A and B are shown apart, each in its own frame.
Chain A
Amino acid sequence: MHVEELRKCFPGLSQTVYGKPLVYFDNAATSMRPVQVIDKLSNLSLLKNSNIHRAVHALAAEATEEYERTREYVRAYLNAAGREEIVFTSGTTAAINLVAFCFGEAFIEEGDEIIVSEEEHHSNIVPWQMMCQRKGATLKVLPVDDEGHLRLDVLKGILTPRTKLLAVAQVSNTLGIENPIKEIVNICHSKNCLVLTDGAQGIVHTGIDVQDAGCDFYVFSGHKIYGATGTGVLYGKKELLEKMPPYMGGGEMIATVKFTGTTYAPLPGKFEAGTQNINAIPTLVPALEMAKQMSDNELVRYGKGISDYLYQALSSNSRIRLFGVPRGAEKKIPLFSFTVEGVHHEDLALILDKMGIAVRSGQMCAEPMMDRFGVTGMLRASLAPYNTMEEAESFIKSLEKAIDMLL
């Protein structure tokens, strides 16, 4: 598929800001949505807006079918063993909070340990901190080296018989380097430690086979992979989810309710209390279909060319400090976080914005990463397969112009 053909599916791309063509390089925060997703959302809202699983009427049946078909689609996409292992949430953050709370309730005793890596998004740090505080457990940190690689050499040393779970990103949202999840899982499992993988970035550029990777929990958001906001997925191994208590109480998650006691619905309903985001969740199907289409050879080759060009242009500029330097055959997603000597990231982002270029600036929701590298913030350009070489060239030219303005 040619990139121009792909771009036709994303109306948001062909607009101007301040009279200049938009260059959208903030995809790691939220991706653009294709018409297929917009159509699904609007069709369900307009015509099939009915609560699922309960009523017997036609609309409810159709809405239920859309929702449950999505579950099956996601199951197949992740290669999970069964539909009971797929829980819908409002996003990655909600999914991690659910696991941190319920896993904590079921399995964590005072004195136990949780490990998070230093490169995690706040959403994969704070829920664990909160749980550790509540349970009297200890939060340990797996460090990152100067190039932005997880220090797997120290992992074995910090795993103890009390370490119950390690939470780690498949791909960090600041460094963009793919972590060896399978290897991490093997090391952890050999010490009876479970693994939660934050796939918010990874699902978009790498994908996952949860059975092959072996991770115990895998989470991602819909809005970063072309779906509607307020959609997310928690994959959890059935035997773990079954032992975990519910997160929220209310409708849908019950079997019977008596004042003498309530019993809970079987998986995955147990974790889906209240009316779910029933119009938006089914957008995961066209969204993930779009992601599949983007793995087309021509698009992948084209994207690789853009990525190589940007990596070259940014790493060869002596004023630019690039974070997350891939080693050998390591995969780096098209995500480039950097700082410019003597220039504040916010100033750069503001000027680039006026040039029509959307990038992210600040702490990237990863303050410990900023501290690790001794910076107050970074600038991040993150691309999707619908971005073009012309956009990349325009970004580099504009960046140089903006730096000249500021220095």
Chain B
Amino acid sequence: METMSLEEAKNQVIEDFSLYDEWLDKYEYLIELGKNLDSYPQEARTDDRLIKGCQSRVWLDWQLKEGKIWFAADSDAIITKGIISLLISVYSGRTPQEIAADDFGFIEQIGLKENLSPTRANGLVSMIGTIKRVAAENL
């Protein structure tokens, strides 16, 4: 399968989200994403991989292979897991330059932040911040 460009991946998410009118259905979509996320290695469930600022626990691990960053993630809450899954499906396999240059604006477009509780929205900001930080460290 041909890999999608970052732009294409973001448009795909926007399109998927537009299929549902009700937020309950969008949650259902996130739950499915969470359930289908690749299993995360137990030994990587360490405190240094926890994203700070999330109410539920979210682990983010990454590897640099052939100039691209590959993310793996997990959470003990399934909707949160769906959100981080959505993020890494877009940003995994990109170069640090691509990620660093991105504005993450598609998150605003799908209205995710406004439909989360303030504490979860903060968690989302922390997840984005961590992905950006990883990219910046690898520039």
A-facing residues in B103-139 (Cβ within 8 Å) = 116-117, 120
Is B24 a contact partner of A406 (Cβ separation < 8 A)?
Answer: no
Q: Is the CB of B117 within 8 A of A354?
A: no
Contact digits for B59-96, partner A, Cβ 8 Å, 1 yes 0 no? 00000000000000000111110000000000000000
Could you tell me if A344 and B78 are in contact, using CB atoms closer than 8 angstroms? yes
Chain B interface extent, by class: 10 to 19
Contact of B79 among A18, A347, A376 (CB under 8 A): A347
Q: How far is the CB of A319 from chain B (nearest CB, A)?
A: 15
Check B55–A354 contact: CB distance below 8 A: no
CA distance A173 to B1 in the complex (A): 55
Q: B27: which of A344, A351, A376 is its contact (CB, 8 Å)? A: A351
Looking at the assembled complex, report how far the CB atom of A275 sits from the nearest CB atom of chain B, in whole angstroms: 31
**Contact partners of B78 in chain A: CB under 8 A:** 343-344, 347, 406
When chains A and B are docked, how far (Å) is the Cα of A376 from the Cα of B75?
A: 13
Is B40 engaged at the interface, CB distance under 8 Å to the other chain? no
Q: Which residues of B contact A354 (CB under 8 A)?
A: 22-24, 27
Query: Given A350-B117, A405-B31, A406-B31, are A344 and B77 neighbors across the interface (CB < 8 Å)?
Result: yes
C-alpha spacing A18/B116, complex, angstroms: 13
Bound-state Cα–Cα, A376 to B56, Å: 9
B47 to chain A, nearest CB (A): 15
**Closest residue to A363 on the B side, CB-wise?**
B55
B residues adjacent to A (C-beta < 8 A): 22-24, 27-28, 31, 55-56, 76-80, 116-117, 120
* A346 within 8 A of partner (CB): yes
What CA separation (Å) do A18 and B117 show in the bound complex?
Answer: 14
Chain B residues near A343: list those with CB within 8 A. 78
User: What 0/1 pattern do residues 27 to 70 of A give for CB contact below 8 A with B?
Assistant: 00000000000000000000000000000000000000000000
Bound form: Cα–Cα A18–B77 in Å: 23
Report the 8 A-B pairs with minimum CB-CB distance, sorted nearest first: A344-B77, A354-B24, A347-B79, A346-B77, A347-B77, A347-B78, A354-B23, A346-B56
What are 23 of the A-B contact pairs (CB < 8 Å)? A344-B56, A344-B77, A344-B78, A346-B79, A346-B120, A347-B77, A347-B78, A347-B80, A350-B116, A350-B117, A350-B120, A351-B24, A351-B27, A354-B23, A354-B24, A354-B27, A355-B24, A362-B55, A376-B76, A405-B27, A405-B28, A405-B31, A406-B31
Using a CB–CB cutoff of 8 Å, the interface residues on chain A facing chain B are 18, 343-344, 346-347, 350-351, 353-355, 362, 376, 405-406
List the B side residues contacting A346 at CB < 8 Å.
55-56, 77, 79-80, 120
How many Å from the CB of A103 to the closest CB on chain B? 35
- Which B residues are in CB contact (< 8 Å) with A362? 55
In the complex, which residue of chain B has the Cβ closest to the Cβ of A19?
B22
Give chain A residues whose Cβ lies under 8 Å from the Cβ of B22: 354
Minimal beta-carbon separation of B49 from chain A (angstroms):
18
Instruction: Give the distance in Å from the alpha carbon of A347 to the alpha carbon of B22 in the complex.
Output: 17
Contacts of A405 in B (CB 8 A): 27-28, 31
Within the assembled complex, what's the spacing in Å between the Cα atoms of A354 and B77?
Answer: 17
A361 to B117, CA, bound (A): 12
